[in-house]
């Protein structure tokens, strides 16, 4: 009789473990879907987006729906997988969409303004600080598929907390 009582206790404990494990798995699945398809938080730092973003780093929230729907335009801050180093995500501003004629100035090539037409399926991105930014002026238009998300909110530092708009 005592053996059956212990067996019942083991079943109860096993059911509890399975239930808690399923809750954890569901939560992790929810986090995965949210982070990869809805919105994500990212830490950005460096001088290329001065004065919009801080040199020492900001924590930004980016939504991932707009790039999939094609709802991006000039002035939007975006997270882009770097065409130079695919392991890095960079934060830049869209300056032109497909079909736009973009006139830009590259300080490394003197005072000559250059013009480019953005091809179909691409965007022209630039950092706000043109003197130190590696962007479309150096590697050309970026395929739309490399855009990871549209930045819409700064979560850190506290003095910059709030929406980011153009």
Q: What is the pLDDT along the chain (166 residues), one digit of tens a residue?
A: 455 567 778 888 889 999 999 999 999 999 999 888 989 999 998 888 988 888 888 999 999 998 888 889 999 999 999 998 989 999 999 999 999 999 888 777 777 888 889 999 999 999 998 888 889 988 889 999 999 999 999 988 888 888 886 5
Give yes or no: 48 in active site: yes
Domains of the chain, earliest start first? 42-163 (2.10.109.10)
- 82 annotated active-site: no
**Cα–Cα distance for residue pair 150/71, rounded to 1 Å:** 9
Q: Which one of 71, 92, 120, 133 is the catalytic residue?
A: 92
Which of 5, 12, 26, 48 is labelled catalytic? 48
């Amino acid at each position: 009789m005592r053996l059956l009582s212990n067996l019942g206790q083991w079943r109860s404990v096993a059911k509890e473990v399975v239930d808690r494990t399923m809750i954890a798995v569901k939560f992790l699945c929810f986090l995965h879907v949210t982070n990869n398809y809805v919105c994500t938080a990212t830490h950005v730092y460096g001088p290329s987006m001065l004065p919009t973003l801080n040199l020492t780093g900001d924590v930004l929230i980016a939504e991932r729906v707009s790039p999939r729907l094609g709802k991006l335009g000039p002035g939007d801050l975006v997270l882009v997988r770097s065409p130079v180093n695919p392991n890095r995500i960079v934060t830049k501003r869209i300056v032109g969409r497909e079909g736009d004629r973009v006139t830009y100035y590259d300080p490394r090539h003197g005072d000559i303004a250059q013009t480019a037409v953005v091809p179909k399926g691409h965007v022209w991105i630039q950092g706000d600080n043109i003197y130190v930014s590696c962007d479309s002026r150096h590697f050309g238009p970026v395929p739309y598929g490399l855009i990871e998300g549209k930045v819409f909110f700064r979560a850190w530092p506290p003095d910059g907390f709030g929406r980011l708009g153009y």
